[in-house]
Chain A
């Protein structure tokens, strides 16, 4: 668990290499799905941190949209660099989470979940009304530049994909490290027993606040990437509450066992949705609902638990009951 180059490190590294190579072979629409998976996966990674602490948010489209709009607005003041834009989107949402965290840290369970939803609906309402930000039409986002170079045509997405994959790789490793740190272990402490945590000398509310800011940063990052990938931001596809549901869906689909699972789950989610939408446009929601049902009933710990089943089978001698 302590070694830096553990299984997760190698898994993520191999994953990065594979998708970087695939990036040059993929068809456009698949590359776009990959980009969306990374963006939504990042948000789900933030939800994973909260989830492990026993908290669910039904409103992280708030931070997703906030980050996306931050990128769009930063372009308006002449910032076209992708890295800078992503940093701005990430930090903007982190700051918002920091501010709201003072209130959210006092709530748990359904109240925490719905308070997030409430804030996301407020932002949605404001954005949909604000003429200067294009109301429900939103605003366009230009292709970003990368350290002074602006790729054109098909290269634009290939570059963004490479760029995003590398950042996502670093972010996933950082979150993995965080989860195995003392601060990360407090997720369990918060979930299992706040009184004991207090009497060990740490504030449960502070621990939740820190996690909340991390989840906000991750959602802002996801939103920033999505803005650049889609080339457009608008309230309905970024902030409206079903977006928040998508993130929770991905978290359940993935399971919270490992950071890599989140991106596998996000990819599965995007693929299922795309195919369901293309091949069964009349009943795609039914298919999504069915998927969720199957996961909850048969794989309550998400897709990641499949790897644990496999791992167990491989062990020769059964270990004594723990």
Chain B
């Protein structure tokens, strides 16, 4: 299996706060990776560094065998590593269809082609297919601002995947979604990504979801990866039990607060 991502000795500190330390991860083609960890454990920081939003203090990042360290998000995106956000990042005033069209237009055009009409019929047809795949076609003409949270999450992911990326990183795809809806949402996402043969890494707080969908778990605690193993093994790990699962139980009984960061 081909190596998609290789991260070595990644570090990041914000002033005194160490948000990442000794991060070593490899991801192979076709894997489904779940990242778990309490709030503030450094999960989003990891995704931000790998996708170029934050520059690591130290370390190496290789995507498809080439270093992407220091590259801007747009470069990394064009190489085939895309992401979605904990708080969906969409064009709020525009409809679902327009959002997908703009995303496709940008993904498909370079140089003078950018001056061609955005709403080309062939592209519109591709957009319809893409919306159907993510089951958001029913909301085609609804402005993104007015969407139910779950649909907006799906739109965010649909926009992140218009390029058919090699690897996609989803930051808490089910946060802010009711327990009853979570599995339905994940089913849609995973089916769509499988269809597109995209390797996926997602951040998740719900252990049932992790168990159900992932082939491997990365558990974060205070900026470090304390466990990297298949889910059955990881969820039995004493440190994971203490620092992650225990925290999650605490979190769900006291009502989860959502913190938004991009």
Contact = CB atoms under 8 A, between A and B. Distances in A.
Interface string B140-161: 0111000000000000000110
Query: Which range holds the interface residue count of chain B?
Result: 35 or more
Interface of B: 51, 72-74, 77-78, 82-83, 85, 89-95, 98, 101-103, 105-107, 109, 113-121, 141-143, 159-160, 162-163, 262
A202 B74 contact: yes
A35 interface: no
Nearest to B106: A200
B156 to A, nearest CB: 8
B113 to A, nearest CB: 8
Contact of B102 (A1, A185, A322): A185
B93 A182 contact: no
A321 B262 CA distance: 31
A28 interface: no
B89 A199 contact: yes
B154 to A, nearest CB: 15
Interface stretch (A60-68, A186-194, A221-229, A294-302): A186-194
Contacts of B72: 198, 203
26 contacts: A2-B117, A178-B115, A180-B117, A181-B118, A182-B102, A182-B105, A182-B106, A182-B109, A183-B115, A185-B105, A186-B102, A188-B98, A189-B91, A191-B93, A192-B90, A192-B93, A192-B94, A193-B89, A193-B91, A199-B77, A199-B83, A200-B106, A201-B74, A202-B106, A203-B72, A322-B142
A8 to B, nearest CB: 13
A196 interface: yes
A197 interface: yes
A186 B98 CA distance: 12
A200 B91 CA distance: 12
Interface of A: 1-2, 177-178, 180-186, 188-189, 191-193, 195-203, 322
A191 B90 CA distance: 11
B86 to A, nearest CB: 12
Contact of B262 (A2, A185, A195, A197): A195
Contacts of A198: 72-74, 77
Tell me whether chain A's interface is mostly helix, strand or loop, or mixed.
helix
Nearest to B262: A195
Contacts of A199: 51, 73-74, 77, 82-83, 89, 160
Given A182-B113, A182-B114, 12 more contacts: A2-B120, A177-B115, A180-B118, A181-B117, A183-B115, A188-B93, A192-B90, A192-B91, A193-B91, A199-B89, A201-B106, A201-B107
Contacts of B78: 201
